[in-house]
C-alpha cells in the first residue's frame, strides 16, 4: 500500500512538472508510426508475421534473420513493448538534429535511456536495449492501404535500419563512444522522419513509459486530434484493431479491451489535458484539440484558453484549419494535381500515410 501511494505521489509530481514546463524537450515519431505500431508483447516463437490495423491502414511486421553460426539462419525476433518505441523516438530525434542517416550511438543512447528512468549501462537494461535495437533494425515492415474501393491497393515495404556497427561493451581498445558505434537508417525511413516528423514531449514519454499502449495512444492523439475539423466517434471494433491484440474477438476480450483502454485514457489525459477524448457507448469520441507540443500558432490560443477557463467562458479550441500534407496518400475520390512547386518525390512510406 505504501509503495502504491509513493508511486501515485511521484506520478502527480511528474505531471505537475510536465504541465508547468515552459520549454519542453522534444523527441519525435513519424506520421506512419503514430497511426500503427509494433507488438505490445513478444509474439509466440511460431509466429511468422504480426499485423496491426488502423482502419484502412495495415502494418505487417516480419522478424529479421541472422546467422546461427552453424551455416544456417535463425529469427532475431519481433521488436515489442516499450523499448523499441523509445528507441524510435531517439532515432527520429537524432536523425532530425544531425540531418544524417548515420547515427552515432556513443553515450547519447545510454543517456537517453537513463533520462527515461531506466537503469544505467551495465545493468540488465543494457541487454534489453541491445536485444530490442537489433530486433528493430533487422525487422521488415510492410504498410498496406486498402480503402473502400476494389479498384485500388497501395503498399510498400521498408525497414528502419540498413546497417549497424555497434560495440556493446568497453574493450581494451576503448569505450563504445571512442570506437565509433553507429547505426545506418534506410533512405525511405530517413525521408519519412524528415518529411513527416510528429513532435512528442520527452517528459510525457517518461511518464507513460510503463505501458506501450499508453505510448501509442499519446502519440496517436498528439498527431490526430489537431487535424480534426469536427468531432468523430471511432467504433470499438476499429479501436481494437488499432490498439488491441491479435487475439480472440469474443465478448470477454472486447470487454477487457474497453476496460483497459478506459483506464489508460485517464492517465494519457492527465499527461495531455488538452486532448478532448471521451468514452461513449459506441466507441471513443474525439474532438478537435490543441496539439500537446505547443507551436507558434497555438501558444496564443493556450493563453486564451487558460484565461477563458479562469473566467468561466467556453474554451478556445482551435486556430485556422490544419492543411494535410499534399504528398500523403491521396484517396481516390479526392485526388488532386501536385502543385508545380513540389520538389523531390516523397519516399514510399511517405506516400502510404493517409491523413
Among residues 347, 53, 23, the alpha carbon closest in space to that of 199 is found at: 23
The distance of Cα 300 from the centroid of its chain, to the nearest Å, equals 27
Q: Retrieve residue 58's grid coordinates.
A: 495495415
What average pLDDT does the structure give for the chain? 77
149 or 283, higher pLDDT: 283
Pair 183, 105: CB distance under 8 Å: yes
Asked which of 97-101, 176-180, 264-268 is least confident by mean pLDDT, the reply is 176-180
Distance CA 327, CA 31 (A): 12
Burial level of 133, CB count in 10 A (0-12/13-18/19+)?
buried
pLDDT over 90 at 215, yes or no: yes
Q: Give me the percent of the chain exceeding a pLDDT of 90.
A: 42
72-90 mean pLDDT: 92
- The 10 Å Cβ neighbour count of residue 235 is 11
310-330 mean pLDDT: 41
Among residues 232, 239, 192, the alpha carbon closest in space to that of 213 is found at: 239
Per-range mean pLDDT, top range of 142-151, 254-263, 328-337: 254-263
What is the reported pTM?
A: 0.78
Query: How do the domains of the chain map onto residue ranges?
Result: 21-204, 212-324
Distance CA 106, CA 130 (A): 13
φ, ψ of residue 255 to 5 degrees: the values are -65, -45
Burial level of 14, CB count in 10 A (0-12/13-18/19+)?
middle
Q: Which residues of 16-32 are buried (b: 16+ CB within 10 A; e: fewer)?
A: eebeeeeebebbbbbbb
52 or 178, higher pLDDT: 52
Pair 159, 139: CB distance under 8 Å: yes
4 or 43, higher pLDDT: 43
Task: For cell 516528423, name the residue.
Answer: 197
**pLDDT at residue 126, rounded to an integer:** 72
Three-state DSSP at 246 gives: coil
166 or 189, higher pLDDT: 189
**pLDDT at residue 318, rounded to an integer:** 42
The distance of Cα 206 from the centroid of its chain, to the nearest Å, equals 13
Three-state DSSP at 226 gives: helix
Q: How does pLDDT run across 106-163, given as a tens digit for each residue?
A: 666 666 667 666 655 455 667 788 899 999 999 999 998 876 666 777 888 889 999 8
**pLDDT at residue 352, rounded to an integer:** 40
Distance CA 259, CA 304 (A): 35
Task: For cell 511528474, name the residue.
Answer: 14
pLDDT over 50 at 329, yes or no: no
pLDDT over 90 at 185, yes or no: yes
4-10 mean pLDDT: 59
Ordered alpha helix ranges (H), the chain: 2-20, 31-35, 82-98, 106-115, 124-138, 176-179, 187-195, 202-208, 212-224, 236-243, 251-271, 296-311, 348-351
pLDDT over 90 at 180, yes or no: no
State the DSSP string of 323-350.
Answer: PPPTTS---GGG--PPPTT--SPPPHHH
Confidence of residue 99 (pLDDT cuts 50, 70, 90): very high
Q: How does pLDDT run across 102-122, given as a tens digit for each residue?
A: 998 866 666 666 766 665 545
**pLDDT at residue 235, rounded to an integer:** 94
Amino acid at each position: 500500500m505504501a509503495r502504491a501511494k509513493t508511486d501515485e505521489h511521484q506520478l502527480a509530481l511528474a505531471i505537475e512538472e510536465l504541465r508547468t514546463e515552459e520549454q519542453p524537450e522534444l523527441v519525435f515519431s513519424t506520421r506512419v508510426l503514430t497511426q500503427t505500431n509494433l507488438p505490445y508483447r513478444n509474439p509466440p516463437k511460431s509466429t511468422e508475421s504480426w499485423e496491426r490495423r488502423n482502419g484502412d491502414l495495415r502494418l505487417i511486421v516480419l522478424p529479421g534473420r541472422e546467422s546461427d553460426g552453424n551455416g544456417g539462419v535463425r529469427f532475431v525476433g519481433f521488436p515489442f513493448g516499450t523499448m523499441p518505441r523509445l528507441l524510435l523516438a531517439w532515432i527520429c530525434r537524432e536523425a532530425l538534429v544531425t540531418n544524417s542517416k548515420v547515427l552515432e550511438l556513443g553515450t547519447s543512447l545510454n543517456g537517453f535511456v537513463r533520462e527515461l528512468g531506466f537503469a544505467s549501462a551495465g545493468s540488465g537494461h543494457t541487454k534489453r536495449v541491445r536485444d530490442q535495437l537489433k530486433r528493430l533494425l533487422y525487422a521488415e515492415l510492410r504498410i498496406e492501404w486498402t480503402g473502400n474501393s476494389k479498384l485500388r491497393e497501395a503498399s510498400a515495404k521498408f525497414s528502419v535500419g540498413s546497417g549497424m556497427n555497434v560495440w556493446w561493451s568497453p574493450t581494451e581498445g576503448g569505450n563504445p563512444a571512442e570506437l565509433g558505434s553507429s547505426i545506418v537508417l534506410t533512405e525511405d525511413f530517413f525521408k519519412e522522419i524528415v518529411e513527416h516528423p510528429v513532435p512528442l514531449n520527452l517528459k510525457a514519454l517518461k511518464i507513460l513509459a510503463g505501458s506501450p499502449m499508453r505510448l501509442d495512444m499519446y502519440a496517436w492523439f498528439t498527431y490526430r486530434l489537431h487535424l480534426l475539423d469536427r468531432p468523430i466517434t471511432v467504433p470499438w471494433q476499429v479501436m481494437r484493431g488499432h490498439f488491441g491484440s491479435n487475439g480472440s474477438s469474443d465478448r470477454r476480450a472486447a470487454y477487457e479491451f474497453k476496460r483497459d483502454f478506459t483506464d489508460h485514457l485517464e492517465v494519457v489525459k492527465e499527461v495531455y489535458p488538452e486532448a478532448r477524448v471521451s468514452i461513449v457507448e459506441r466507441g471513443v469520441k474525439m474532438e478537435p484539440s490543441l496539439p500537446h507540443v505547443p507551436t507558434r500558432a497555438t501558444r496564443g490560443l493556450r493563453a486564451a484558453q487558460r484565461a477563458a477557463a479562469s473566467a468561466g467562458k467556453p474554451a478556445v479550441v482551435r486556430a485556422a484549419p490544419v492543411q494535410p500534407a499534399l504528398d500523403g496518400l491521396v484517396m481516390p475520390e479526392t485526388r488532386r494535381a501536385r502543385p508545380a512547386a513540389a520538389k523531390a518525390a516523397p519516399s514510399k512510406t511517405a506516400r502510404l500515410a493517409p491523413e
